[in-house]
Chain A
Amino acid sequence: MKCDQARELILTDYMDSEPGCGLRHEVDEHLRQCVSCCEFREVAREKIIGQFASARVEDPPEFVWRGIREKIMSKAGVSHGILANSAAAIRLAFSSLLSIPRPVAVLVAGVMIAILLLSAAPGMRRRALYGYLNEQITFIANLDDGEADGSDIFDTDIQIGADNFL
C-alpha cells in the first residue's frame, strides 16, 4: 500500500473504525513500516478526534419550546377561529330568519308562491281572463235581445271592447 492511499484511509474509514473498511489490516501493515504515516496518524488523531472529544452537549433553552408551543397554539386558534366564525355567521343568518313573526312569514311565503306560479304559467292567466270576458259579453248580449231598449250604443261599445280583447 502506498502512503497516499494509507493516509486517505486514515482520514476516513480507518480513523472511524467503519466496519466496511476491508483494508484495515493493510493500513496497519503499512504503518508498521512507515514512520511518516505513523506521525500523520498521530497528528490526525490529535487535531481531529481530540478536538471534538470534549464537545459539550446542551439542552435547548426553555424559551424554545414555549415559542414552538405558542406558534402551534396560535395557528390552531386561528383555524378554529375561522371555523367558529363561519359557524356563527350561519347560525346568525338562520336565527334572524326564525325571528320573523309566524303570520307575516306565512303571508310573505304565500305571496311569493303566487308570484312564482303566475310568472311560471302566463298562458293560464290569459285563458282565464278571456273566458271571464266572453261570459260577460254573452250575458250582456242576451239582456239586449230581450227587453232592452235604446241600448244600441251600449251593445256596440261592448262589441268593440270584445274585439279589442279577442
Chain B
Amino acid sequence: MHRTPGIADLLYAYANGDMDPVEHAARVLEEIRRWEPKVNAFISLEDPELVLEAAEDAGKRWKRGEARPLEGILVGVKDNISTSFLPTTAASRMLDPYVPPYNATVVDRLLERGAIIHGKLNLDEFAMGSTGEFSAFGPTRNPWSLDRVPGGSSSGSGACLAYAGCDGALGSDTGGSVRLPAAYTATVGLKPTYGLVSRRGLIPYGNSLEQISPMARSVRDVALLLEAIAGWDPGDATSLRTEAPSLSGLKPAEPGEVRVCVPRGLPELAEEPVRKAFYSLLERLESEGASVGEVEMRGVERALPAYYTIALAEAASNLARYDGTLYPMRGESGEYWRYIAQARGRGFGFEVKKRILMGVYVLSEGYRDEYYVAATRLRRLVRDEVLRATRGCILATPASPVMPPRLGERIGDPLKLYAMDAYTVIANLAGVPALVQPAGFHEGLPIGVQFMAGRLGEPQLIRLGLLVEELTGLAEVVAG
C-alpha cells in the first residue's frame, strides 16, 4: 500500500507549477502499461499520443491562467456511458464495436471542464453483476489481490483507481455498482440522489434505479467530480431541476454535530471481519463525540427481492432493442424470428439472458401483479422508511456483507451473488444518495462502510466522509 496524489492534489500542484500535466499523464500511462495485463480494467484505451497531446494543451492552459475546473485530470469512463470518440460496448459482444453518434451529457460536462478521458472501463455485461466477472472482455481483477474480484458492476472503475491508472472514474450504480467496487478496492464511490446526474447516454439497465456515479480515491475528489457532472439536463426527463450543488469547498463535519444510526439487524448479515471493521469505525466516531444510535426500519430486509424484480423487468425491456438490426451483432437467417434469436443468442452472455428471462417473467400477464406490481409497492414502503429515518440521522451500514470474493467464488450461485447487494440496493430503491469509503483492512483486503442521507443530502455525506477520512487516514491509497 502506498499513497498517490488525487484530483485535488493534482489541481493544486498544477496551479502552483509543481507538476506538469504531461509528466503526470505519462506516469498514469506507465501504470496502465504495467498493470493492465494483470488487471484488465480497461476495454478500450485512447491512443497514448492523443492523451499526451491533451495533457500538453492542459499544461498550456494552466500556464496561461485559463485552466478549467478539471484541467489535465485523467478520468476513466465506464464502458456503458456513451462516447462518440471511443467504442461503447457495455462489455457485450452485442455492441462490439458500437461507436455512438453522441456523447453522454456527463462526458460533455467532463470535457468542457478540461478533463481528459483516456479510456473506457470494464464492467459486467450491461452492468449486470456484482463482481466484474460477467464481461465479454474477460473479468477484471482486484489490484489489492489479483485472485480476487474488484466488485461490480463498475469493476474497471474501482480497479483503475486502485492501481493509479486514472485520477477519477465514472461508474454507474443501479444497485450498488460503484459502491461494491469502492468497498473492495479501498476507493470512494458516491451514488447521487436519483435525478441529480443526467442519465442521457448511459446504456440503461434499471432506469428507475440507476445514476451515473463518481469514483475516486478520496471523498474530496468524489465531490469535485460530482460537482462537475451534476445538474439539470433538459435531455433527461427524470433529471431534477436543481442547480449543481456546491461540494468541493465543504469542510469535514464536526463530530459533535454528527448523528449516525444503524438500521437494526442489518449489520448482522455481514461476515465477521466486515462487522468488526464497521463497529470499530462507529466506536471511533462515537468516541470523537458523534451520536451513534439504532433505528427500526420495516421492509428493508425485503429490499433485495423488490430491487431485483424491478431492475430485471426494466432490463428485459431495455435490452429488447438488440435484435441484430442496428447493432454490430447480426443473425444470418432470412427468417425474421430466427434472425433475431441468432443475434441475441450470440450477442448476450449467460447472465444477461437469465436476467432477461426473469424480467419477462415478472412482467407477464398473470404474474405481473404478483411480482412486478408487488415489488413497486414494496419499493414505496422502503422509500418511505428510508426518507423517514434519514430525516433525523445519517444511516450507516457495511458496504458489502462479504470480503472481496475470489474469482469464480460467487457467480455459481445466483442467490449468493445477489445477496452481495443487500446493503446497497436500499439507496437505489429510495432514490437517496449513498457514499461508500474505506473503513479498514483485514488481511490486506479492503473493507468499506456505507452512509446514506436523505434526498439531496450529498453535502452531509461529503462532510461526514471527510471526517471519517480524517479518523481512518484511508484516503488516496493504492495497491502495490
Do the two chains belong together in a single complex? Answer: no
**Taking beta carbons and an 8 Å cutoff, which residues of B are in contact with A?**
none
**Taking beta carbons and an 8 Å cutoff, which residues of A are in contact with B?**
none
